[in-house]
Amino acid sequence: MRIGLFTDTYFPQVSGVATSIRTLKTELEKQGHAVFIFTTTDKDVNRYEDWQIIRIPSVPFFAFKDRRFAYRGFSKALEIAKQYQLDIIHTQTEFSLGLLGIWIARELKIPVIHTYHTQYEDYVHYIAKGMLIRPSMVKYLVRGFLHDVDGVICPSEIVRDLLSDYKVKVEKRVIPTGIELAKFERPEIKQENLKELRSKLGIQDGEKTLLSLSRISYEKNIQAVLVAFADVLKEEDKVKLVVAGDGPYLNDLKEQAQNLEIQDSVIFTGMIAPSETALYYKAADFFISA
C-alpha cells in the first residue's frame, strides 16, 4: 500500500510521538509498503531534503512553542497526495495535520484511520492557563474529531477505555506502540562505557541508580517520583536518582528536590542525545516511572 502519515511533530523535533511514527514508518517499509510523512516545516531542517517527507508551512503553536501548527499549503498537500496515489491516510494528531489528513482522505475517497496518542485532560492547563479549554470539554472535542475517521488505534487498553467513556462510536483496536529493540541492545556498549557515565554523573561504586527518562513536564508526574525517592533515602542512602531529559517543568522539579532536601541524591542531566539513551538505560539499576 501507499500510506500517508499526517503528524504535527516529526524529527528533528524530539517527542515520543515522533519516535513512534518513525518506528511505524520503518516497520511498514520493511513489509513492502511505501510511506510518506506529511508534517510541519522546521527551522532546523531543509524543507525539501527528502521527497517522502512533505513539510507544510507552519508557525509555532501558541500553547506549545516547541510544536508547530500548519497554516497554509493545504491545496498543494492535496495535489501531492494525488500524485503519490495514496491508498490510506493515517493521522497522528488532532490538530492541523490531522484535520488536513481527514480533508484529503475525503477528497481522494480513501480510508483514514487515527492513532490517539495524548490524554488531553493532562495538558489543557498549558492553553491560556486552562481558561480556554477545560478538562470537561475534551471528550466533546475528541468525539467530534474522531467522528470523521474510519477507525482508531489505541496504544493501550487504558486509551481504549477512555475513548469508550467519551462515547466514541468508531471501531477501536489496541495496538501498543512498537520499540526498535536494536537501538537499546547496542552490544558495542561495554562495561567501561557504563563506568565512565556513572563517574561523569557522580555516582559512586556501590550506589544503586534509579533512572527516570522522559520529557520533563507536569503530566509525567515526576514530582511523585521525587516524593517517593525521599522515603527511599530514609531507608537506604546509597542510591541516586537520575532524572534525564528536559522540558518546561525542570526548574520546578529542581526546586522540589531542594524543598525535600534530597538535592544531593538527585541528578538532573538536562537533554540527552537520542544516541545516548541506551547508555543511560544500561548504566541504571532500575527504571522508575509514576
| CB neighbourhood size of 110 (10 A) | 17
Domain boundary among 174, 201, 222: 174
Between CA 129 and CA 84 the distance in angstroms is 41
pLDDT in tens, 134-163: 778 999 999 999 999 999 999 999 999 999
Q: pTM of the predicted model, to two decimals?
A: 0.85
Output the domain CATH number for residue 251.
3.40.50.2000
Q: Do 41 and 121 have their domain in common?
A: yes
- Same structural domain, 118 and 244: no
191 and 266 together in one domain = yes
- Dump the DSSP string for 132-157: SS-HHHHHHHHHHHHTTSSEEEESSH
* Residue 216, pLDDT above cutoff 90: yes
Q: Half-sphere exposure (CA, 13 Å, Cβ side) for 156?
A: 6
Q: Could you tell me if residue 179 is inside a domain?
A: no
Question: Mind listing the pLDDT tens digit for each residue in 159-192?
Answer: 999 999 999 999 999 999 988 898 899 999 999 9
